[in-house]
């Protein structure tokens, strides 16, 4: 089946010349949850806004369900739900009317049963007659989600859904996303929270400086997190990794004063014993050894730093 969302060499230069997207290409499969990670100003919101037709692309194209988001804007937009970063509700309107009116804006016929289902799922049913200004911050965010779901979209964008919300609401939000996935909704969310990506995403994309640096299966990323590094501080610095140690995944660090060995913690044999005896066999003296585990956070920080260099 064709991907539900196809982003092809998408570029966006804002008036004034700032290049916020520098050619993003990405396919997203139906029912997938993709988390887009990136520091402030990376281009996450620009990417979402361009896909949703709020911002015009400078070049490249996006299709949603096969519809081009510029040439076939209405069809494409009707398949998309967008939960914006900022809360933009009509304060004196009730929850029920807010959600009902949004559905109407998409030209969908009235369907009270569908709206009731959405409000119940978001634990908003008992608040349906409350004015939105009477709701807590967390409930307002839920109303934004209810609005975004009101026209039965196939793809839901959540722009930093849990920024500044408490732990409990964050977990709730994750449950809601898992629920939507079960219904076959494709979810793309932006986040600064790496644990959020870890908790709910099928795939993780890292964006910085308007470029997509990596898109990878979360499980594959987790497998990478299984990597550990053994740092061996040497008595005498080396100019290069000795040829006799070529079978090991070694790099020189600290100007030759240390060897770094990367190994997979999930494998039965780490190779450390063999390495240490090989070092001893080569007459290389050790001063100290230490190990550390790389995390998704480090992978992320490393990538972002590299791309900025």
Ligand X SMILES: Nc1ncnc2c1ncn2[C@@H]1O[C@H](COP(=O)(O)OP(=O)(O)OP(=O)(O)O)[C@@H](O)[C@H]1O
Tell me which residues touch ligand X (CB under 6 A).
14, 16, 18, 20, 38, 40-46
Half-sphere exposure of 277 (CA within 13 A, CB side): 3
Tell the smallest beta-carbon distance from residue 197 to ligand X (Å): 14
Tell the smallest beta-carbon distance from residue 255 to ligand X (Å): 36
Picking from 268, 250, 270, 269, the residue whose alpha carbon sits closest to that of residue 260 is 250
Picking from 190, 113, 99, the residue whose alpha carbon sits closest to that of residue 145 is 99
Closer by beta carbon to ligand X, 46 or else 63: 46
Tell the smallest beta-carbon distance from residue 151 to ligand X (Å): 24
Q: What values do phi and psi take at 98, rounded to 5? A: -55, -50
Closer by beta carbon to ligand X, 46 or else 132: 46
Q: What values do phi and psi take at 159, rounded to 5? A: -95, 105
Closer by beta carbon to ligand X, 18 or else 73: 18
Residues 6+ apart with CB under 8 A from 144: 83, 84, 87, 88, 89
Closer by beta carbon to ligand X, 186 or else 208: 208
Tell the smallest beta-carbon distance from residue 275 to ligand X (Å): 42
Strands 59-64, 211-217: pairing is: unpaired
Closer by beta carbon to ligand X, 47 or else 177: 47
Tell the smallest beta-carbon distance from residue 256 to ligand X (Å): 39
């Amino acid at each position: 089946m064709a991907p539900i969302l196809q982003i092809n060499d998408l570029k966006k230069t804002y008036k004034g010349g700032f290049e916020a997207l520098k050619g993003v290409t990405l396919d997203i499969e139906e029912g997938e949850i993709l988390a887009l990670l990136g520091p402030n100003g990376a281009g996450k919101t620009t990417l979402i806004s361009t896909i949703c037709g709020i911002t015009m692309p400078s070049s490249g194209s996006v299709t949603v369900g096969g519809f081009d988001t510029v040439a076939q804007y209405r069809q494409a937009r009707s398949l998309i739900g967008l939960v914006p970063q900022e809360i933009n509700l009509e304060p004196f309107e009730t929850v029920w009317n807010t959600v009902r009116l949004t559905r109407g804006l998409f030209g969908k016929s009235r369907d009270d049963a569908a709206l009731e289902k959405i409000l119940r799922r978001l634990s908003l049913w008992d608040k349906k007659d409350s004015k939105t200004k009477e709701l807590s911050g967390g409930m307002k965010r839920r109303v934004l989600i209810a609005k975004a779901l009101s026209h039965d979209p196939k793809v839901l964008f959540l722009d930093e859904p849990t920024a500044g919300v408490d732990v409990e609401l964050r977990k709730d939000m994750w449950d809601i996303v898992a629920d939507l996935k079960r219904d076959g909704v494709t979810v793309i969310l932006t986040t600064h929270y790496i644990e959020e990506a870890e908790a709910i995403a099928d795939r993780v994309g890292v964006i910085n400086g308007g470029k997509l640096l990596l898109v990878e299966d979360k499980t594959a990323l987790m497998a990478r997190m299984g990597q550990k590094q053994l740092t061996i501080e040497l008595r005498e610095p080396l100019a290069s990794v000795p040829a006799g140690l070529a079978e090991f995944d070694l790099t020189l660090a600290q100007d030759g004063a240390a060897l770094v060995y990367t190994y997979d913690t999930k494998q039965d044999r780490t190779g450390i014993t063999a390495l240490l005896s090989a070092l001893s066999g080569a007459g290389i003296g050790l001063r100290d050894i230490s190990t550390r585990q790389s995390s998704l956070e480090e992978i992320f920080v490393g990538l972002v730093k590299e791309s900025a260099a």
